[in-house]
Amino acid sequence: MGNKTYANKKNIKRTNRKKNNVKDKSIYIVISKTSTLPSNVIKMWTKEPYAHTSLSFDIELNDMYSFARRKLHNPFYCGFIKEDITTGVFGRDVDTTCRVARLKVSSNSYKKMRKMINEFKKHDMDYKYNYLGIVGIMFNKAVEREYNYFCSQFVYHVLEKSGADTFDKKAGLVRPEDFRQWDKLELIYEGKLKDYRQYLKDNNITEESNKEYFSECMIKNLAQKAAMVL
C-alpha cells in the first residue's frame, strides 16, 4: 500500500510539472523608437529601426514596464518605471513607431515574472539605469551590475530568470534588434504606437487570438500601408 501511495504522489508531481510547462499564458514584448535625442543616437549607431524595449503583461499595453527616464524632460534621471503609451515620452511623441509581439510562457514562468516585477516595484528607487552597460555593449562586453539595467537587458533578465524561452546571449549584450529577429515571438503589430489600440479594436484582436489570426491581420496591415505609399 505504501509503495502505491508513493507511486501516486510521484505521478501527481509529474502531472503538475507538465501542467506548469504548458505555455498557456501570454506576455508582450514591445520595441519602439521615439523622437528623443538618445533614441536617435541609438538608431544612428545600430542602424536599426528600434531603440527601446518594454515588457507588457497585457495585449493592450496597460501593464507595461521597462528602464527609461522617470521625468519627461530629464533623459538622465532613469530607472525602473511602469510605462504608459498615452503619457510621458510616448504620449508626447505621437510619431513613435513600434513593433508588438507575443511570447507564450508557462503558468510557472508567468508567476515568477509577476513576482519579480512586484519586487522591482517594491524597491523601484533602488534600481538605476545601466549606463556603463550601454558603453560595454558598444565593445561587445557585458557589464552586469546588481540593481542596474538598460531596457533590453531588463526584459531579457526577466525572461531568463523566470525560465521562459530565451536566446543564447548574455543579458548585458541584448539589444532591441535581438527581439526583432527572434523567431519565438508572434508578431501582432508594426506601425505607429498611437494607432495600436485602435488597430486591436478594428481587427478584434484579443488575448485569445491565435498566431494565424495575427498573421492575417499583419498581411492586411501591410497591404494597407503599401496602398498608401502607392
- What's the grid cell of residue 63? 501593464
Percent of the chain with pLDDT over 70: 88
Give the pLDDT confidence score for residue 12 in this predicted structure. Answer: 47
pLDDT of residue 93 exceeding 80, the answer is yes
pLDDT tens-digit profile of 97-132?
Answer: 999 999 999 999 999 999 999 999 999 999 999 999
SS3 229: helix
Residue 118 lies in a domain: yes
Residue 17 lies in a domain: no
| Residues whose CB falls within 8 Å of the CB of residue 121, separated by 6 or more in sequence, listed in order | 80, 82
Chain position carrying cell 510562457: 105
Please state the pTM of the whole predicted model: 0.87
pLDDT tens-digit profile of 15-70?
Answer: 455 555 688 999 999 999 998 888 888 888 888 999 999 999 999 999 999 999 99
Number of structural domains in the chain: 1
Q: How confident is the model at residue 94 (pLDDT cuts 50, 70, 90)?
A: very high
35-42 long-range contacts, Cβ below 8 Å, gap at least 24? 35/93, 35/95, 35/96, 36/75, 36/89, 36/93, 37/75, 38/75
Residues in the chain, total = 230
Lowest mean pLDDT among 53-67, 169-183, 212-226: 212-226
Residue 1 lies in a domain: no
pLDDT of residue 147 exceeding 90, the answer is yes
Residue 229 lies in a domain: no
What 8-state DSSP symbol labels residue 165?
Answer: -
pLDDT of residue 221 exceeding 80, the answer is no
Single-letter amino acid, residue 62: N
- 1/52 Cα distance (integer angstroms): 59
pLDDT of residue 2 exceeding 60, the answer is no
Owning domain of residue 175: 24-222
Pick the more confident residue, 227 or 13: 227
Residue 149 lies in a domain: yes
pLDDT of residue 11 exceeding 50, the answer is yes
Q: Of 83, 37, 54, which is closest to residue 151 (Cα–Cα)?
A: 54
Beta strands at 74-83 and 64-71: parallel, antiparallel or unpaired: antiparallel
CATH of the domain at 30: 3.90.1720.10
Residue 104 lies in a domain: yes
Percent of the chain with pLDDT over 90: 73
- 215/190 Cα distance (integer angstroms): 12
Alpha helices in the chain (DSSP H): 2-21, 37-46, 88-92, 107-122, 131-138, 151-162, 176-180, 196-202, 211-229
Q: How confident is the model at residue 95 (pLDDT cuts 50, 70, 90)?
A: very high
